Amino acid sequence: MYDDLKTAALDYHEKPIPGKIALQTTKPCTTQEELSLAYTPGVAEPVRAIEQDPEAAYRYTAKGNLVAVITDGSAVLGLGNTGALASKPVMEGKGVLFKRFANIDVFDIEVNADSPEDFIETVVRISPTFGGINLEDIAAPHCFHIEQTLMKRLDIPVFHDDQHGTAIITAAGLLNALEIQDKSLAEARIVCLGAGAAGVATLSLLVALGARPENILAVDRNGVIHEERDDLTPEKRDLAVATNARTLADAMAGADVFLGLSGPNLVSEAMLKGMAPRPVVFALSNPDPEISPALARATRDDLIMATGRSDYPNQVNNVLGFPFIFRGALDVHARAINREMHIAAAGALRDLARESVPQEVLTAYGLEGLAFGPDYIIPKPFDPRLIDRVPPAVSRAAMDTGVARRRVTIAGAGVGPESAGPGG
């Protein structure tokens, strides 16, 4: 046993060999015949096949199950701009999660880039290697330009998890929480504290699902984002509304939903008391939320609360999303991960939380019972049913929207046009 987390974490990453990921071969190479197939002269045959038909790369190489987890190190966890090299443990960790939860192989790539354009060009040039690109820990506002440009230039999925992964998990949990609180997304008054990558993407997805822009107040470090401000980026300009509210306290008065994607301890008891009856509070700053669950529950006994932490109920954890979303995209050789696929993933997560929880999940978390309700609005990451629910929903959405290169048969209850999205 270790006396401190620092020593335990450093030893974990160093021993018995440095790092957390490695390569292994998938074909035998123990005889002269196998060597001649693995390399020259046999390897020439798949080279010729791919030269004639680029789609053959999915048949003869690892491309179709290989994702690049790639960053410039400009916004690493809560540590800020650490630089590319220092971000490598996080990128390796992402690779571990891809493999553990969805059996997807990863090359982690840390890029020294002096500008967004340099980063974009690097990704474009290496993209033939991969079946998908997972952008990670890139600071706003550059992350928006980088993702949108790469989505236009590449014919493989490009997904910025800090944006869309957070948005998808949050949307799934929020829809369930609003239903339990007898409220609708269309009528809910929403306050979002934090207008960076996650905040902008989450609000965009909620609007796509039926939230009304006029019911949303976004707040950044300079206050409410309103139409009279002249300091807004294009992404924040899209969030600006006509309002007299100027502070977070102003915004939260009468609000049904608080989304915190900002920093610790920014919400007071008075702000929470000023919210509407039966509020929904997603305080997702990590490791310290915008308001502690203990304080929030002591202040309001009618709320439903979620955090980014594993030691409280309703953890919004991106591992519920990105491995399974990429699994569904890769299974159909998708050219993109589009809005419909985001909605399908959120819908599958929303629906799964409503089902009976198997014993193996209870055992994994040391629980005696777990049922859909105020303390269980989002599935648990170690729920083995995730791999059977989310990827098929994403694959179906890819096929339905024409971004799939191949079609697969989707089997199993709950995966279909009627239940693929959470808006209904």
What DSSP assignment string belongs to 58-94?
Answer: HHHSGGGGEEEEEE-SSSBTTTB---TGGGHHHHHHH
User: Which residues have C-beta within 8 Å of that of residue 212, sequence separation ≥ 6?
Assistant: 186, 187
pLDDT of res. 2: 64
383-405 in b/e form (b: 16+ CB < 10 A) is bebbbbbbbbbbbbbbbeeebbe
Q: Which helix (H) or strand (E) holds 49?
A: helix 44-52
Mean pLDDT score, 171-189 = 98
Using the predicted structure, report yes or no on whether residue 250 has a pLDDT greater than 50. Answer: yes
What are the tens digits of pLDDT across the range 81-112? 999 999 999 999 999 999 999 999 999 999 99
Structural fold of domain 164-307:
Rossmann fold (3.40.50)
The single residue of 63, 94, 236, 380 carrying the catalytic annotation is: 94
Task: Look up residue 312 and give its DSSP letter.
Answer: S
Identify the pLDDT of residue 415: 34
Residues 198-240: pLDDT tens digits? Answer: 999 999 999 999 999 999 999 999 999 999 999 999 999 999 9
User: Which residues of the chain does CATH 3.40.50.10380 include?
Assistant: 12-156
Q: Under the phi-then-psi rule, with left for phi > 0, alpha for psi from -120 to 50, and beta for the rest, what region is 208?
A: alpha
Residue 374 exposed, middle or buried by CB count within 10 Å (0-12, 13-18, 19+): middle
Please provide residue 339's backbone torsions phi and psi, each rounded to the nearest 5 degrees. Answer: -60, -40
pLDDT of residue 411: 72
Rg (CA), the chain: 22
Average pLDDT in the 7-25 region?
A: 93
Higher pLDDT, 287 or 167: 167
Please state, in angstroms and rounded to a whole number, the distance separating the CA atoms of residues 95 and 81: 21
Of 2, 12, 39, 273, which one is the catalytic site residue?
39
Strands 223-224 and 216-220: antiparallel
The pLDDT, as a whole number, for residue 1 is 58
From-to residues of CATH 3.40.50.720 in the chain: 164-307
pLDDT of residue 71 exceeding 60? yes
Residue 78 confidence class, pLDDT cut points 50, 70, 90: confident
Alpha-carbon torsion angle 350, 351, 356, 361, nearest 10: -50
| 2: annotated active-site residue | no
Higher pLDDT, 420 or 312: 312
Residue 391 has pLDDT above 60, yes or no: yes
Average pLDDT, the chain: 94
Topology of 12-156 in CATH? Answer: Rossmann fold (3.40.50)
Q: What is d(CA 413, CA 383) in angstroms, rounded to the nearest whole number? A: 17
Look at residue 423 and tell me whether its pLDDT is greater than 60: no
pLDDT in the model for residue 33: 96
Task: Output the pLDDT for position 414.
Answer: 36
In this predicted structure, the answer to whether residue 422 has a pLDDT above a threshold of 50 is no
Question: Is residue 349 a contact partner of residue 322, using CB atoms and an 8 Å limit?
Answer: no
Q: Does residue 94 carry a catalytic annotation?
A: yes
Note whether 330 and 104 are within 8 A (CB).
yes
The mean pLDDT value for 37-51 works out to: 96
Most confident of the following: 18-27, 175-184, 402-411, 413-422: 175-184
Task: Give 327-358 pLDDT, tens digit per residue.
Answer: 999 999 999 999 999 999 999 999 999 999 99
pTM: 0.93
Question: How much of the chain, in percent, has pLDDT values that exceed 70?
Answer: 96
State what percent of residues in the chain have pLDDT above 90.
93
Instruction: Kindly state the tokens that stand for 245.
Output: 């509210």
